[in-house]
Chains A and B, each alone.
Chain A
Amino acid sequence: MKHKRLLLILFALVVVVQWLVPLVMIRGSENVLRRGELYRFQTRPVDPVDPFRGRFVALGFLADTYTVDSAVADQFEIGQEVFAILDEDSAGFAIVIGVLDNAPSTKKAFIKAQIDRTMKSGDRVSLKLDFPFERFYMQEFAAIQADELFAEVNDSGQFKAYAEVYVHEGKARLKDVKVNGRSLRELALEEQLK
C-alpha cells in the first residue's frame, strides 16, 4: 500500500514536470510577443524537413551577414554564440549594426545568434550569422506550396518578402512571414486551392 502511494506521488510529480516544460516554452514565447519590439527582416531563398517536428519553410535573411576588420574577426570563431545589435534601414527593414561576443549594455534591441561561417576578402571578414528564427513551421502540404511560392518571390526580386520578428531582451520570436504585406500562409493556401 505504502509502495503504491509513493509511486503515485512520484508519478504526480512527473506529470507536473511534463506539463510545466511545454507551458514554460509557451509562456517564454508569448512574453516576447507581448513585450517585444517588431522588426521586419527581409528574406532571401534557401526546403528541408525536420523529421520530428514537421514541415517548415527555411528562411534566409539579407541582414544575416556582417562585415568586420580582420583584426576584430580574430575574436570570433565558427559555432560561437554572439549578440547582434539591430536597427532599421530607410525602408524600415532590420539591419545588423554590430556583433559582440558579450551581452551588450546598449538600449538598442539585440538578438542572440551563432557564427555559421566566415569569409575573408582582403582586410575585411564577413561573418555569416545563424538567426534563431530560420524556420517557419506550417501545415505539411501548405509548406510545400509555400516553399515554391517563396522561392519564386525571392528570385524575382519584384516582391518584398520579409519575416515579422518580435525581439525582447535578446530573445526573438517569429510571428509571420509576409509577401507584400500578405501572410505566406494565406498565399500558400490560395495556391493549394487553385
Chain B
Amino acid sequence: MPLHKDLDKLIEAKVIDEATARAIADFYSDKTSAGSNRLLNIFAVIGALLLGLGVILIVAHNWDSFPKATKTFFAFLPLALGQGACLCALWKRPGQVSWMEGSAVFLALSIGACIALISQVYQLQGELDAFMLTWCLLGLPLAYLLRSSTTSLLYHIGICIYAFASESFINSGASNGFYFLLFLAALPYYGMIIRTTPHSLLTVYHHYILPLCFFLALLPFLEFHEHISLVLIALFGLYILIGQTAFFKAQGPVRNGYHFYGTLGTLITLLVVSSGSFWSGQEKVISDLFGFAPVGIVFVALTVFSIALLVWSSPKLNALLGRPISLVFLLYPLVYLIGGSAPVLVSILINLLLLWIAIKHIWDGVRQTDLRILNSGLLIIAAQMVVRFLDTDLSFIQRGLIFMIVGAGFFLANYSIIRKRRSHEA
C-alpha cells in the first residue's frame, strides 16, 4: 500500500499528528530521489562509456585513411582530456577523492595510450622496457600531486613489468638495478598514506601489491641464480618482521600482506629445499655466493634490515622462540653453509624446522581455539608429507598409513576445537 494511505490511516487513528506525517513523507521522498539520482548517474555513466567506445571504434575503423596530423591529434586527445580533468580536480574540487582518483587514473592511462599511438603512427621502434619506464616516470608525479593511490598501485605494477622486460634479463646479461631506484621513488607516497589513511582499502591493497611486486622484480635481477633461496628466505624473513610490527599487527591478519607473503614464501621455500636431492651434488660455498655480486649484495642488505628491525622491536627470547618462523632468516644461512658437505643432515634439519613451525601453529590454534591457525599448522604437515611422498622410497602401504594418521589428526583436532568452543558458549 502506498505510504500516503498508511499515513492517512495513522492520522485518523490519532497515532501520529499531521506535522509528523509530513516529516515522514518528506523523509521517504528524499531517500527515493537520492536512490533515483544514483540510478540516473549509473545510466549516464554507462551511456557515456558506450558513446565513447562507439567513437573510438569508428575512429579505429577509419584510422588508416586519416592523414598523419589527424592521427597525431587523436593520439594527444586523451592526454589533453585527462590533463583537463586533473586541472579541474585540483582547482575546483581539491579534496574530493573520487575526482582526484578518477582524473589521475584516466590521465595515467592516457599517457601510455598517447606514447603507444605516437609510436604506431610514426613507426617508432623500441623495446617494452623503455616504453614502460617512460610511462611510469611520467605517471608517478600524478600520485603525489593528486594523492591518487590507484595511480601509485599502477606505478608499482608498471615498474615490475619494466623489471621483467628489461633487456638484461632477457639476454641474461648484466643485472639492471634501476628498478630499486624506481621503487624508492614511490615509497614516500606509501609512507604518507600509511600515516594519513591507514584503514583505507587502497592502502591495504598497497600492503599486498608492493611486497609482491618487489619479490617478482627481484627474480630477474638475480637471474634465478642457484643461491636464490638464501635471498628469498632473507626477503620473506623481512616481510614477516614487518608484518609483526605494531602497526601491521593492529591491521589484523586479512589486511597484513607482509605477514601473508612472508609466511607463505618462507614455507614454500623451505618445502622446496627440504629435499635431500636439493643439497646433494651441489657445492655451496661462500665465495660462490659472492662471486655473483647482486645476490651477495641483496642478501646482505636484506639480512641487515631484518636484524635491525628485530633489534628495534626488542622481543624477549621467549617470544622469539614462540615464533619460530621469525627465526628462519637467521637459521637458514647457517644451515646453508654446511649444505654441500652434509646434505642429509641439512635436509633433516630443515624438515625439523618445518615441523617445529607446524607444531607451534597447532599448539597456538588449540590454545586460542582458533581453527584458522590450527588448520594452517596441519596444512604445513600435510604439505611436507606430499613433498616427502614425491621424493622418498616408502612403500604405498607406509605412505597410505602416514596419510591416514595425519588425516585422522585433522579431524580430531578440528572436532576437539569445535567441542571446546561449544562448551564455552554453553
Q: Does B216 contact A (CB under 8 A)?
A: no
Assuming the contacts A4-B90, A8-B90, asked whether A26 and B60 have C-beta atoms less than 8 A apart, the reply is no
Give residues of chain B (126-173) contacting chain A, Cβ–Cβ below 8 Å. 128, 131-132, 134, 138, 141-142, 145, 167, 171, 173
Assuming the contacts A10-B145, A14-B141, A137-B120, asked whether A52 and B63 have C-beta atoms less than 8 A apart, the reply is no
Distance between Cα atoms of A14 and B142 in the complex (Å): 8
B173 CB contacts on chain A under 8 angstroms:
79
Distance between Cα atoms of A79 and B170 in the complex (Å): 10
Assuming the contacts A11-B86, A78-B171, A142-B64, asked whether A22 and B125 have C-beta atoms less than 8 A apart, the reply is no
Contact B123 A14 (CB under 8 A): no
Contact A29 B124 (CB under 8 A): yes
Distance between Cα atoms of A17 and B139 in the complex (Å): 11
Partner of A18, one of B75, B83, B122, B132: B83
Contact A50 B128 (CB under 8 A): yes
Contact A189 B112 (CB under 8 A): no
Choose, from A102-110, A127-135, A147-155, the stretch at the interface. Answer: A127-135
Assuming the contacts A10-B145, A11-B145, asked whether A25 and B118 have C-beta atoms less than 8 A apart, the reply is yes
Q: Does B115 contact A (CB under 8 A)?
A: yes
Distance between Cα atoms of A142 and B287 in the complex (Å): 56
A-B residue pair count with CB separations less than 8 angstroms: 88
Contact B128 A10 (CB under 8 A): no
Count residues of B near A (Cβ-Cβ below 8 Å): 37
| A41-75 interface bits toward B, Cβ cutoff 8 Å, 1 = contact, 0 = none | 00000000010111000000000000000000000
Contact B116 A54 (CB under 8 A): yes
Give residues of chain A (152-182) contacting chain B, Cβ–Cβ below 8 Å. 173-175
Q: Does B403 contact A (CB under 8 A)?
A: no
Assuming the contacts A4-B94, A22-B75, A139-B64, asked whether A14 and B145 have C-beta atoms less than 8 A apart, the reply is yes
Q: Does A93 contact B (CB under 8 A)?
A: no
Contact A15 B83 (CB under 8 A): yes
Contact A53 B116 (CB under 8 A): yes
Contact B128 A21 (CB under 8 A): no
Q: Does B238 contact A (CB under 8 A)?
A: no
Instruction: Show the binding face of B for A, using Cβ within 8 Å.
Output: 60, 63-64, 72, 75-76, 79, 83, 86-87, 90-91, 94, 111-112, 114-116, 118-125, 128, 131-132, 134, 138, 141-142, 145, 167, 171, 173
Task: Sample 16 A-B pairs with CB under 8 A, ordered by A number.
Answer: A8-B91, A14-B142, A14-B145, A17-B138, A21-B115, A25-B118, A25-B119, A52-B116, A78-B171, A79-B167, A133-B123, A134-B125, A136-B123, A138-B64, A174-B123, A175-B123
